[in-house]
Amino acid sequence: MTQFAIQAHDIVRTFRNGDVRALDGVSLNVPVGQVFGLLGPNGSGKTTMVRILATILSPDSGSATVDGKDVVKQADAVRRSIGLAGQYATVDENLTGFENIRMVARLNHMDKASATARAHELLAQFSLTDAANRTAKTYSGGMRRRLDLAAALVAKPPVLFLDEPTTGLDPQSRQDLWEIIEGLVATGVTVLLTTQYLEEADRLASQLVVLDKGKIIAEGTPASLKAQLGTTVVAVTFENSKAAHEHLGLIRDLTANEPNIDGAIVELTVNSGPQIAAEVIRRLDTAGVLVAGLALREPSLDDVFLNLTGHKAEAVVEVSTEEPATRKKGRR
């Protein structure tokens, strides 16, 4: 048995008659039984990659396998090995939670008794038993997302694609879904996760790939990506945004990375945090510059994202470069 649940080699996919290269030579090796994160701005190619691996789109060139099966030559077999849940729940709002799961089970060729049993099992697993006989349109956003994920797991797929699954959820619902995902991985399920939430990737993903403009610009574990920046972020709070820009030159040379200015706060990513913080205070005091605050913290994946792409993840404005996908028939 291969050690990789997903392998992709030199995937290229273009849109608009070749004018837009959504994926430009992307290669992935996703180990079995882990969460593998795909990060990047909207339009970077994350969803296109998921659609290719899920056999919804075909690559222009390159090759990929999921659970050992070729996504082009063995598409039907791939669809039997995967579950797919996106940022928008695809449940039927006019059916109850139980009816939604049972319907998916029947579409997966389960007999009535097995479909009913599987529906009850999943509703219990996702804490939806009390709402099983309510129509999905009465569910909260978090409940719909859990129902959608449950439906994706009806056939017990070994590989699960989660395309920004917690987008729009409140913090508690997001935490609940994270715990469910961790539980699935503990049973051996492989998860390919795309997300805009850097905290989510930091908590769940064992390995990460950062995409930008269809190319891989960084990859590694969350810890290794953060370590590349330095060990400490020194955050200096000035009186206002104008002062932050005016006095940046006094401390700019203390970091090898590009400083981040967020309103009145200037952030420097460095290796010797306490020493640099002391030097910041000395320089600004000598220049007679008032400082409203100074703090030290560990670098986050948001800092990595900012350093690599030039903006924070939550600052991304979506500009779609993808054509509507033609959905192929197959199992969820």
Q: State residue 40's pLDDT score.
A: 83
* pLDDT tens sequence for the chain (332 residues): 569 999 999 999 999 888 899 999 999 999 999 999 998 877 889 999 999 999 999 999 999 999 999 999 999 999 999 999 977 668 899 999 999 999 999 999 999 999 999 999 999 999 999 999 999 999 998 899 899 999 999 999 999 999 888 887 888 888 888 999 999 999 999 999 998 777 888 899 999 999 988 999 999 998 888 877 777 899 999 999 999 999 999 999 999 888 989 999 999 988 888 999 999 999 999 999 999 999 998 887 777 877 777 666 554 434 344 444 443 434 44
Q: State residue 322's pLDDT score.
A: 44
Q: State residue 16's pLDDT score.
A: 87
Number of Cβ within 10 Å of residue 80's Cβ equals 15
Q: How far apart are CA 322 and CA 315, in angstroms?
A: 20
Fold of 4-220: Rossmann fold (3.40.50)
Torsion sign over Cα 276, 278, 279, 283 = positive
Task: Delimit the domains of the chain by residue range.
Answer: 4-220, 230-298
Q: State residue 313's pLDDT score.
A: 58
CA angle 65/71/74 to nearest 5° reads 105
Print burial letters for 133-144: b (CB count within 10 Å at least 16), e (below 16): eebbeebeebbb
Number of Cβ within 10 Å of residue 317's Cβ equals 8
Q: State residue 328's pLDDT score.
A: 41
The highest-level CATH class for domain 230-298 is alpha beta
Q: Which two tokens stand for residue 8?
A: 């992709």
Q: In what order do the strands lie in the sheet with 207-212?
A: 82-85, 159-163, 190-194, 35-39, 207-212, 215-220
- Grouping H, G, I as helix, E, B as strand and the rest as coil, residue 162 is strand
Q: How far apart are CA 13 and CA 123, in angstroms?
A: 38
Q: State residue 267's pLDDT score.
A: 93
Q: State residue 204's pLDDT score.
A: 94
Give the global pTM.
0.78
Q: How far apart are CA 168 and CA 150, in angstroms?
A: 18
Token match 């992709």: residue? 8
Q: State residue 34's pLDDT score.
A: 95
Measured between alpha carbons, how far is residue 328 from residues 51, 58, 198, 332 in Å? Answer: 11, 11, 31, 11
